Amino acid sequence: MGDTARNPVTWLGSPAFPTAAKTALADDQLRRNLKHATGLIRTKRAGAVAELPDWEQLRLSGEAIKDDVLANLDTYLLRFEESVAARGGTVHWARDAAEANEIVLRLAREAGADEVVKIKSMATMEIGLNEALQAGGVTPIETDLAELIVQLGNDRPSHILVPAIHRNRTEIRDIFKAAMPGTEDLTDEPVELAAAARAFLRRKFLSAKVAVSGANFGVAETGSVVVVESEGNGRMCLTLPETLITVMGIEKLVPTWQDLEVFLQLLPRSSTAERMNPYTSVWTGVTPGDGPRDFHLVLVDNGRTDTLASTVGRQALRCIRCSACLNVCPVYERTGGQAYGSVYPGPIGAILAPQLGGDMHDKHAASLPFASSLCGACFEVCPVRIDIPSVLVHLRAKAVEAKPKYSPEAIGMAAMSWVMAGPRRFRAAQRLAVAGRLLSRGGRIRGLPFPGSKWTDSRDLPAPAKESFSAWWKRTRG
């Protein structure tokens, strides 16, 4: 289990962001799919949020509740452990990914399972659980439709909420046809595709002995665990198998039951832009005669305590994984999630992945804080008010520290290198302005703080004339 094991939060062998972004930008289909999807969610989210007159007050509460959790994390974890145990659950603690995987694998084997059904969970993806189970002879079955598409397509997810956002219906039909028996006549109608997945997975749900889930929230006061979902695959996993193993990051707590009233309003509207997601499940330990007989909760650190130590960076641990910041990010919209080479893509990924990974000497991790224009749109939509731009700037400085041989100018260049063409061109002011156009929202550049500010006096430049990202990229990089 050693402390030295590589943290799998970034995918091994991923190219640094600039390289990956270039590849992604060359993929027209990918960009079309992404643009369509993020555009739709953005508009819908704005509507869902505008409906609540007290949205800003909810955000302020959400932020403060999570800050309280982080400031008293040891106390709340112990209270949570006690409450879960009092209701018949078993709590396990895992320092890192390797230890968490070991625990889940052992529990699955002890329950006599050679197959486990899984609910989409960022935490289990972060620790690389599927690979670990597979290597240990236990087959994980992803049951979320998008995850199933990703798994059957031997692919990687590209969005926290809509992992198959980069696939269109025809591609999905082809993936299903190749992997599911009896689907020769499948059309590419979404209703039919969903029905095929329903039939394929129903048998799995009814026979599985063990399910593995993540958790959206844990309530310290009561020991309750909350899973928010849409399809009902979560309910299947949480209800039918005899053993349930829930893997949860240590920061996912809220202090009291009442605190959930804030997050059950913030999350669905920020995430799927709905008033409420179709299904939310809450359970506390074991309930005789209803659901699993055995409940295990694995609390995972895996870089979170290191992140907590940073007074600037710790706010990333407030994240409730709604993915709103992805959908408003101009960089994400053009490169897609896979370019980030991490389980956590987009703006939150750019601050979370390097911190959880904890190694700024890693070239890939060190490149992520630069995958942003610091336009600030992510902060504006974040339901728990994470100041992502400030953390990005802080992490850029860390990346710089990790490479002390660089002069401040050179570091500034490295900072913008994924958008800027290179040292020579970077000095040209109009090039920065071109980047500004691409990175601006509503025709104004909302300030390019460090390192952009080093090259611009004005914090609010009018946006330069429009040029497509790919044309610009080719011209300046090519």
Partner 1 sequence: MGDSRDVILARIRGALGDRPDPRPVPREYQRTRDFPSVLDLFAERVADYRAIVHRVTDPVELIRSALAGKRVAVASDAPPEWLVPEVTWLREPLTNADLDACDGVLTGCAVGIAETGTIVLDGGVAQGRRALTLLPDYHLCVVRADQVVGTVPEALARLEPTRPLTFVSGPSATSDIEMDRVEGVHGPRTLEVLIVSQ
Q: Which is nearer to partner 1, 275 or 474 (CB)?
A: 275
The entry of partner 1, ligand SF4, none that residue 131 binds, CB within 5 to 8 Å by partner kind: none
453-456 contacts at long range (C-beta below 8 A, 24 or more positions apart) = 454/412, 455/412, 455/429, 456/429, 456/432
Residue 77 in contact with partner 1, rule: CB under 8 A:
yes
Selected binder of ligand SF4 within 91, 122, 240, 382 (CB under 6 A): 382
**Structural contact between residues 342 and 14, judged by C-beta atoms closer than 8 angstroms:** yes
Selected binder of partner 1 within 131, 261, 380, 401 (CB under 8 A): 261
Q: Which is nearer to partner 1, 32 or 444 (CB)?
A: 32
Beta-bridge partner residues of 459: none
Rounded to whole angstroms, the Cα distance separating 134 from 114 reads 9
CB of 59 to ligand SF4, least distance (A): 10
Letter string b/e over residues 156-186, b meaning 16 or more CB atoms within 10 A of that residue's CB: bbbbbbbbbbbbbeebbbebbeeebeebeeb
The entry of ligand SF4, partner 1, none that residue 299 binds, CB within 5 to 8 Å by partner kind: partner 1
- Measure CA 302 to chain center: 15
- Measure CA 443 to chain center: 29
For residue 342, which amino acid is it? Answer: S
CB of 384 to ligand SF4, least distance (A): 5
Q: Which is nearer to partner 1, 198 or 474 (CB)?
A: 198
**Structural contact between residues 353 and 35, judged by C-beta atoms closer than 8 angstroms:** no
For residue 451, which amino acid is it? Answer: P
Query: Among 7-15, 51-59, 377-385, 424-432, which window interacts with partner 1 (CB under 8 A)?
Result: 51-59
The entry of partner 1, ligand SF4, none that residue 323 binds, CB within 5 to 8 Å by partner kind: ligand SF4
Query: Among 12-20, 29-37, 333-341, 432-440, which window interacts with partner 1 (CB under 8 A)?
Result: 29-37
Residue 381 in contact with ligand SF4, rule: CB under 6 A:
yes
Q: Which is nearer to partner 1, 238 or 352 (CB)?
A: 238
**Structural contact between residues 225 and 283, judged by C-beta atoms closer than 8 angstroms:** yes
Strand 90-94 to 224-229 pairing: unpaired
The entry of ligand SF4, partner 1, none that residue 381 binds, CB within 5 to 8 Å by partner kind: ligand SF4
For residue 366, which amino acid is it? Answer: A
Q: Which is nearer to ligand SF4, 369 or 436 (CB)?
A: 369
Residue 73 in contact with partner 1, rule: CB under 8 A:
yes
Write the DSSP assignment of 320-360 as a string of letters: ----HHHHH-HHHHHH-SGGG-BSS-HHHHHHHHHHHH--T
Selected binder of ligand SF4 within 260, 320, 360, 395 (CB under 6 A): 320
Q: Which is nearer to ligand SF4, 59 or 79 (CB)?
A: 59
Q: Which is nearer to partner 1, 208 or 371 (CB)?
A: 208
Residue 322 in contact with ligand SF4, rule: CB under 6 A:
yes
CB of 329 to ligand SF4, least distance (A): 9
Selected binder of ligand SF4 within 140, 214, 223, 383 (CB under 6 A): 383
Selected binder of partner 1 within 193, 343, 384, 399 (CB under 8 A): 193
Selected binder of partner 1 within 5, 282, 312, 402 (CB under 8 A): 282
Burial of 371 from C-beta contacts in 10 A (0-12 / 13-18 / 19+) = buried
Residue 67 in contact with partner 1, rule: CB under 8 A:
yes
**Structural contact between residues 476 and 419, judged by C-beta atoms closer than 8 angstroms:** no
Residue 243 in contact with ligand SF4, rule: CB under 6 A:
no
**Structural contact between residues 421 and 431, judged by C-beta atoms closer than 8 angstroms:** yes
Residue 371 in contact with ligand SF4, rule: CB under 6 A:
no
Counting runs of H as helices and runs of E as strands, what totals does the chain give? 23, 10
